Amino acid sequence: MTDPTISRTRTHEAEVAALFLKHSSRIRGIILSMQPDFARADDILQETFLTVSVKSDQFEFGTDFMSWVYQIARYKVLEDRRRSGKTTEQLSIASIESLLAADPNLLDDQQEERMEALQDCLTRLSPKSRQAIELRYAREHPAAEIATVMGWTVDSVYVALSRARSLLAKCIDEGLRSKGVTT
């Protein structure tokens, strides 16, 4: 490799790193939407940055940087789930409701308890969190639309949804345990 080639490569790497840093809060929000644990999401963000740095030569300027990074982040989340033994995907509220609409007899007693706990826990969320959850899952609005409706940034929407999902999961588990239902 000649000196100008090395210089171009380093410049390209620096430009890709700068793009990553510019969009890091958005990338973190995307990771949080797939992995609601803040500490693990931050670890995945760092792993994503390392992979982006190593593969920076594969990115072509003029193409969609966020799509490229999204694919890397997605694989990092899946890799993290495999390592931690969590391979199941969490169903959204809308997915659960769609399944119930298709077959109302689908729920057993424990699942009915879980749905009741979910409904109870939704009422315990702050009004803004509940509105964000409703817009996302009941009305299926994308994060950008929710941000516009609520006057938030898209990153704030991802963080608020992640926190609300975590609170709901904890509340549901506590509610079921108090009723003696195993989770």
Residue 103's CATH number: 1.10.10.10
- Give the model's pLDDT for residue 152: 94
Same domain, 60 and 101: no
pLDDT in tens, 96-132: 455 445 544 444 456 667 777 888 888 899 999 988 9
* 22 part of a folded domain: yes
Query: Of the ranges 19-23, 49-53, 136-140, which one carries the lowest mean pLDDT score?
Result: 136-140
Could you write out the DSSP letters of every residue in 41-92? HHHHHHHHHHHHHHTGGG--BTB-HHHHHHHHHHHHHHHHHHHHT--PPPPP
Q: What's the domain count of the chain?
A: 2
Same domain, 116 and 165: yes
Look up the domain containing 107 and give its range: 93-178
**Cβ 29 vs Cβ 158: under 8 Å:** yes
176 or 160, which is more confident: 160
Mean pLDDT of 32-42: 78
At 55 the three-state DSSP class reads coil
* 169 part of a folded domain: yes
93 band by pLDDT with thresholds 50, 70 and 90: very low
- Amino acid occupying residue 40: R
Alpha-carbon span 173 to 178, nearest angstrom: 9
Is the per-residue pLDDT at 153 higher than 90? yes
- Give the model's pLDDT for residue 109: 55
Q: How many residues does the chain have?
A: 183
140 or 27, which is more confident: 27
Alpha-carbon span 8 to 57, nearest angstrom: 10
* 183 part of a folded domain: no
**Final residue of a domain: which of 84, 119, 140?**
84
Q: Which of 35, 34, 33, 182 is nearest to 117 (CA)?
A: 182
pTM comes to 0.47
